[in-house]
Amino acid sequence: MPDTIANISAELSSFLDYAAVEKGLASNSIASYRRDLNNFAGYLQKSGLPLEKVRHEHIRKFLETLYRQGLSARSAARQLAAVRHFFRFLVKEGRLSADPAHEVEAPHLSHSLPKYLNFQEVELLLAQPDSSTPTGLRDRAMLELLYATGMRVSELLSIRWEDFEPNIGIVRCLGKGNKERLIPVGKSALRAVEVYLREGGSTFTKRQGVPYLFLNQRGGRLSRVGFWKILSAYGRRAGIRISLTPHMVRHSFATHLLERGADLRSIQTMLGHSDISTTQIYTHVLKERLRQVYQNHHPRA
């Protein structure tokens, strides 16, 4: 048993180093892999199974234990994905001759379509900040930029003033895995950021060593929770009845682009999706919207 534990621990460490250094995955992704694979390693240790003895039926039994623990199909699928990546790495490195996870089917997931705002709701939301105050100027700039670029909230709050190229209308964004991408920014969002920098930015006195554009009242980087509260409050003021999240604004950005004729590859690049299949969910959103429009307006629907 001790040899089994040492063997699994050593291989897990090698895989996580590979994921961080060679694949360049973000720290959150590495932490998620570590949690899921430690769970799998615990199962193997209790079963007394060394890695070279693992077969597909053992991985299926591991999934069954997850279901018995009350995990959802989505959570089980995430853990299976981590196990697959791990065994794929071991085969690639020549440490195993075959991949036991290859034949294991992923749990069936029901895909719920992402929620998004319509154009009128976006306009109402963007009109809420009070542009006569420094805080309102900051909030207006954040909301305009979020909708104009479709950035993740963590990306938005990592933006520095030097990341903007206002003359050509782009912003540099550091996404997942520390991958940099350039995103076009519309005139309205650029104007909102420029006004914030010119008229409101000096109110938020930066603490030493804080390079970020959007600051809290103490001069530090605005947190995700802080932004979420700001967005939720403006959503309520705008009369938006659903619980508003930053990701919902991101979904609105992508859906509205697709509705107006943008191609999926361009949207994929702007969103920072590594796989086009992730972006294709928005085609389903568009189909569902067209179906609803037809049912609501066609006389024989």
Question: Domains, the chain, ranges and CATH?
Answer: 2-92 (1.10.150.130), 119-297 (1.10.443.10)
Options 160, 181, 247, 289, the catalytic residue: 247
Residues contacting residue 70 through CB under 8 Å, at least 6 positions apart:
none
Q: What are the angstrom distances between the C-alpha of 107 and each of 47, 71, 100, 257?
A: 23, 11, 17, 32
> Could you confirm whether 152 is annotated as catalytic?
yes
> Could you confirm whether 298 is annotated as catalytic?
no
User: pLDDT at position 186, please?
Assistant: 93
* Whole-number Å distance between alpha carbons of 240 and 125: 8
Q: Residue ranges of the alpha helices (H) in the chain? A: 2-21, 27-47, 56-68, 73-92, 119-126, 134-149, 153-156, 187-195, 224-237, 246-259, 264-271, 276-279, 281-297
Question: pLDDT higher for 1 or 278?
Answer: 278
At 232-265, the pLDDT tens digits run: 999 999 999 888 999 999 999 999 999 888 999 9
DSSP states of 88-152: HHHHHTTS-SS-TTTTPPPPP---PPPP---HHHHHHHHT-S-TTSHHHHHHHHHHHHHHHH---
Options 34, 60, 176, 206, the catalytic residue: 176
Options 78, 138, 250, 256, the catalytic residue: 250
| Nearest partner of 108 among 77, 68, 83, judged by Cα | 77
At 190-228, the pLDDT tens digits run: 999 999 988 877 777 777 778 899 998 888 889 999 999
* Whole-number Å distance between alpha carbons of 273 and 151: 11
For residue 125, name the pLDDT band (cuts at 50, 70, 90).
Answer: very high
> Could you confirm whether 176 is annotated as catalytic?
yes
Q: What is the mean pLDDT of residues 143-168?
A: 92
> Could you confirm whether 294 is annotated as catalytic?
no
Please state the pTM of the whole predicted model: 0.65
Q: What are the angstrom distances between the C-alpha of 211 and each of 124, 159, 207, 230?
A: 31, 9, 9, 21
Assess whether pLDDT exceeds 80 at residue 294.
no
> Could you confirm whether 241 is annotated as catalytic?
no
User: pLDDT at position 100, please?
Assistant: 92
**Backbone CA torsion sign across 197, 163, 168, 230:** negative
For residue 4, name the pLDDT band (cuts at 50, 70, 90).
Answer: very low
Options 78, 140, 152, 251, the catalytic residue: 152
> Could you confirm whether 58 is annotated as catalytic?
no
User: pLDDT at position 17, please?
Assistant: 92
On average, the pLDDT of the chain sits at: 87
